[in-house]
Chain A
């Protein structure tokens, strides 16, 4: 909590608030429907879901000191396999097959990088190319659809639906209170220092719960959004509150120091790669369920957006430091920019130019903030 409000730590929040405010004012000024209308908010979250899920594990892999640009291709493979096999194996079989295949590709990446010592950028560049090629082979270069509409209906039921946002907000509040309660129970022995942080966590949980109970925000979120929140919450808790998170940070920050402290660097680098493949496969499954048709270039470019989101969230490309919730805020900034450009009719020609500038500007802010922090400390 100490320096939580500094630009280096919370810049991404300020940036998102500023962006949303600007778009709200602009859309009002232009006489368009409010930018913060329930439908648009729901849309933005739905658009963030897939790239956000990719950004979660991109962040984990970056923290572990690795790098992966093959996830979008792997996701495309998962999507193609799902639709190719759903008629023969049924929904469960097809989904399992897709995730098994994508996890195997993740395992291959991790093995080549960690055991053979090939540079991660080169390995995943190769995987990216080869997996796109593999998709062409298995789809014969055509768009794939499920032959039996009944099968597709079953698949679609995983993404076709809404949950009221207040219910989700309420659940988050309960989760925060539960976390602080568990922490309290576990730390009763150290009564002398019952942490302020713990009280703060419980208090913010209560506030969030009340907000949810009051029916705010009046928005319906899609199932995809729900999956994103589930993944973010799980990974956040593991990284923030468990030994796994601490060791992952040590392995990414200084692998040799971690190894000499008895930590298995191989395990802490290969497992994130495998899970990265699994989650990319899950993203592919959701993609196929949403569209019902997958062409060989499915999810093209998502890997770069996911990496950009992680960078906007302040994750270091050199390992040892990063935040999953902030990566999601980073993804939100990118999607809000795109969505805003469309809504305000600003011309999609400028959209990519602005996105690029935002990424470099964000990186510059982090670097300058880090430099001034180190100068403000010791000489």
Chain B
């Protein structure tokens, strides 16, 4: 069956190379064929060239060599508009919708005409909904929708302009399991109807189950190009990294710990809606917070860290009461790696060393007035070496780093600060498989050095890998506690997911 669907070449990339003016070779001699009506997965580590290839296909970059064929015709995609006319639409990781407009206005944003909406817009919208098998309120304001629904709106927008080739760049990075399922179902339905997808993602299992064919890039070259059925996750990882990665599911048995806990939280409530939260964590323990997007897991971390105002309850570190606000938390030995590294973590104007020493700069200074650059640089050199950050060194700019390395800078910040308690909010989102493994290993290192770690993740597999205890979060509260050795991803999904299922039954 699958072979019959995907026999006609739709997009052909022939010997394409791309060299940037500064001499960076992003792609060399890349050839691949995408067949009509298939979902074609494109994978590679950060910097492997997949974004560049996607930009060439979407008309944002022009190739330095080679040529492209769409439906057998040679095309020069000199700009995104030209690509659109050739039937190619791109859906980016960060969805460029107008949050103050409603769904249908966003979908018809690019259409011409004088009216706010073209004639018959609602009918065309309903037809499209029927076609892709997805219903949503056309008059809901986009800003009030969940990210998953926005992603669907973006797909509908692409289809409405008549695209029959859709490029998707990490479309599910910020989606929860249910939202992903919606997107996948739609992609499958549309592919059966003849739409072609080129699908870029870090999630290997996801790509293998969704896609008919996969292509893996490494260092700007094609290193694997085959039917998805002919390979597996290990094969893809090996192609991506050029080495074998141990994906053994070694779990950490919960150790019985005597003595007082390092972190004691009693009856904490915050203005952001956390109610009566109590929790103890011991030195050297890794506790996982398993919750879906919107479950309130970030709010719980904010409550502990004092980033949201506490209205009741106490937080104690080694028995000492921690005052209000982030300043008190940091002095008490807390550290936080926030969910959005660019919006909440890094200061673009400061060099790497300035970002690393930001919370504890007084330690690298005289009389807490005069920063001691040599000390800052020496410490930064040490931690970026220990973590393996690929950079120009401590004086480099954070804006020059890839996603995985930028995330590692935030971990380096706290490795340098040596916190007693480390809170991690989705530390592996949007980083490649190798960086992910490094980050998870680092989390264990923190614990071995005696730090109490609380880590939030949407990938429960990951929590099972690093944590000893997993707390399931729903509605801004802890609803279940499981010891890692006695639970499974499936059980955690069920526990985290229940309200939505109830809502559906009702």
Contacts and interface: CB of A to CB of B under 8 A. Distances in A.
Q: Do chains A and B stick together as partners?
A: yes
Interface of A: 2, 186-187, 189-190, 193, 195, 241-244, 246-247, 249-250, 252-254, 256-264, 320-321, 374-379
A252 B368 CA distance: 20
Nearest to B375: A190
Contacts of B349: 249-250, 252-253, 320-321
A243 B378 contact: no
Interface residues of B, number: 46
A252 B348 CA distance: 11
B348 A254 contact: yes
B374 A377 contact: no
Contacts of B373: 195
Contacts of B347: 249-250, 253-254, 257-258, 320
Interface in B358-382: 358-359, 361-362, 365-366, 368-375, 377-378
B326 A256 contact: no
B137 to A, nearest CB: 31
Given A260-B344, A262-B327, A243 B361 contact: yes
Nearest to B365: A243
Contacts of B24: 378-379
A256 B348 contact: no
B366 A246 contact: no
Contacts of A193: 374, 377
Contacts of A254: 343-348
A376 B345 contact: no
A377 B400 CA distance: 7
A375 B399 CA distance: 12
B348 A253 contact: yes
B29 to A, nearest CB: 18
Interface stretch (B114-122, B263-271, B330-338): B330-338
Contacts of B350: 246, 249-250, 253
Contacts of A377: 22, 397, 399-400
B222 interface: no
A262 B346 contact: no
A256 B344 contact: yes
A187 B400 CA distance: 30
A40 B305 CA distance: 59
27 contacts: A186-B372, A189-B374, A195-B374, A241-B370, A249-B347, A249-B350, A250-B358, A253-B348, A254-B346, A254-B347, A256-B338, A256-B343, A257-B344, A257-B347, A258-B347, A258-B358, A260-B305, A260-B344, A260-B345, A262-B331, A263-B358, A375-B22, A376-B22, A377-B397, A377-B399, A379-B22, A379-B52
Interface of B: 20-22, 24, 26, 52, 305, 307, 325-327, 329-331, 336, 338, 343-350, 354, 358-359, 361-362, 365-366, 368-375, 377-378, 395, 397, 399-400, 413
A161 B54 CA distance: 68
A195 B346 CA distance: 27
B343 A379 contact: no
Interface of chain A, helix or strand or loop or mixed?
Answer: helix
B348 A262 contact: no
Contacts of B345: 254, 257, 260
Contacts of A190: 372, 374-375, 378
Given A246-B354, A320-B348, A376-B21, A260 B338 contact: yes
Contacts, number: 112
Contact of B371 (A246, A250, A375): A246
Contacts of A246: 350, 354, 358, 361, 371
A244 B21 CA distance: 39
Contacts of B370: 186, 241-243
B337 to A, nearest CB: 9
A200 B393 CA distance: 23
Nearest to B306: A262
Nearest to A376: B22
Nearest to B334: A262
A303 B361 CA distance: 35
B307 A259 contact: yes
Contacts of A376: 21-22
A234 to B, nearest CB: 14
Nearest to A379: B20
A262 B329 contact: yes
Given A186-B366, A243-B361, A249-B350, A262 B330 contact: yes
A188 to B, nearest CB: 10
B136 to A, nearest CB: 31
A243 B400 CA distance: 25
Contacts of B343: 254, 256
Contacts of B397: 377
Given A254-B348, A377-B22, A262 B369 contact: no
Given A250-B358, A256-B344, A377-B400, 20 more contacts: A187-B372, A190-B374, A193-B374, A241-B371, A243-B361, A243-B369, A246-B350, A249-B347, A249-B350, A252-B349, A253-B350, A254-B343, A260-B307, A260-B345, A375-B22, A378-B24, A378-B400, A379-B22, A379-B24, A379-B52
A244 B367 CA distance: 12
Contacts of A320: 347-349
Given A243-B361, A376-B21, A260 B336 contact: yes
